[in-house]
Amino acid sequence: MKTIYFDNNATTRVDPEVFEAMVPFFQDLYGNPSSMHHKGGEVAQHIRRARRQLADLLGCEPEEVIYTASGTESDNTALWSAIRGRPDKKHLVTSRVEHSAIHNNVALLRRLGYLVTELGVDKYGRLDMGELLSALTPDTALVSLHWANNETGVLFPVEEIAGLCRERDIIFHTDAVQAVGKIPMKLKDSKIDMLSLAGHKLHAPKGIGALYARQGLKFLPFMVGGHQERGRRGGTENVPYIVGLGKAAELALKRLPEEDTRVRAMRDRLEEGLLKIPYSIVNGDRKERLPNTTNISFEYIEGESILFHLSHFGICASSGSACTSGSLEPSHVLRAMGVPFTAAHGSIRLSLCPYNTEDEVDFVLEKFPPIVEKLRALSPFWKDGKPSDSALLTCDTDNCSVCG
């Protein structure tokens, strides 16, 4: 059965060119880059090249790139470096729609006695800049907000926010795991202090990430050990994966125009086709979002049931973040946006990449409507081609698309 992979926000396949670039470092180029002999030196030069490749994608200096094992490690490093570096400040600001790597860290900091402000979002997943400004105080050590939401693709104005934080001497960090490689970046022209990324979101392997840390920023390592990464992250470098991330970054930079044109056009056509299904709504701002992502709710049925039936045809999608897919609770992102309970449970995220094709979009549009029709026929909230009376009684929002 052919696989149609529309779940690229969860992870991506390793690009063949990335794999080929990595292969020599498992057998031939096996030296420790810290070693003084030639086997170490030849490997060290490849790390320097990979660091430059990633810096070019980010629009920063190579010395500002710190390699980590994941986006989660990068997030942890940024948060704890900022908090430990300003022990006199006990307040931080984030949002209610962050990834669990930030969300759960914030909960821990709250238990440790920190004051945390979690900003809300409107029904389109957008921040209220007035609420953000009101939240900033002289006691604020850190503001951490994602660049792109992992479930809806909605973009936050992080460069503007970083500028506001710099004016107030507040460190600004952004989780850009979903954004890197999909939208242009030029960090050297921004006020962003720290930025997290993960290789497996841009066709590099799992197990490699990076943190951008602005030159001159006070930085305290999270992973303490040897002198690696200029003393900012201990542990022998994962050379094959670092090289792979470098090659993936080089390819992503070349493909940015394709992301904004061909991939965006496929996403838009897929979305418009699915919206022809009755009682379907797009979750999130349809303008300020990633070019590859759509999140659509199909009301009165379960998203997990849709995914099961899609998988029968080889179609891979998700009902939200892969990091919370085991939960039976509706997405915290969609609930924060005020999406009705009957719609939040039926949400499906489809995320594309340059590997996807128009034929795949056609196939999904062919198979999707009958699945929804079949599941609604089995739903207690659906009767005679429309929501049943019991469905209307379960509505829990003032903005329901059915009852108004």
CATH, domain 4-8+256-373, list 3.90.1150.10, 3.90.226.10, 3.50.30.30, 3.40.50.10420: 3.90.1150.10
Per-residue confidence at 143, pLDDT binned at 50, 70, 90?
A: very high
pLDDT at 322: 44
Q: Which fold has domain 16-252?
A: Aspartate Aminotransferase; domain 2 (3.40.640)
Q: Is there a catalytic annotation at residue 316?
A: no
Mean pLDDT of 317-323: 68
Mind listing the pLDDT tens digit for each residue in 166-224? 999 999 999 999 999 999 999 999 999 999 999 999 999 999 999 999 999 999 999 89
CA distance to 116, 180, 192, 353, 354, per residue, from 256 (Å): 36, 10, 21, 11, 10
Q: Which residues of the chain are in CATH 3.90.1150.10 domains? A: 4-8+256-373
Number of helices and strands (H, E) in the chain? 15, 14
Mean pLDDT of 121-149: 97
- Greatest Cα pair distance, the chain, in angstroms, is 77
Mean pLDDT of 73-87: 97
> Is the pLDDT assigned to residue 141 strictly greater than 90?
yes
pLDDT at 335: 94
Q: Are 317 and 7 a contacting pair, CB within 8 Å?
A: yes
pLDDT at 309: 97
CA distance to 66, 112, 193, 241, 270, per residue, from 212 (Å): 6, 27, 8, 17, 34
> Is the pLDDT assigned to residue 325 strictly greater than 70?
no
Mind listing the pLDDT tens digit for each residue in 216-236? 999 999 989 989 988 899 999
Q: Are 109 and 76 a contacting pair, CB within 8 Å?
A: no
> Is the pLDDT assigned to residue 402 strictly greater than 50?
no
Question: What percentage of the chain reaches a pLDDT higher than 90?
Answer: 86
* Active-site annotation holder among 60, 165, 316, 323: 323
Report the chain's mean pLDDT, rounded to a whole number. 93
Q: Which residues of the chain are in CATH 3.40.640.10 domains? A: 16-252
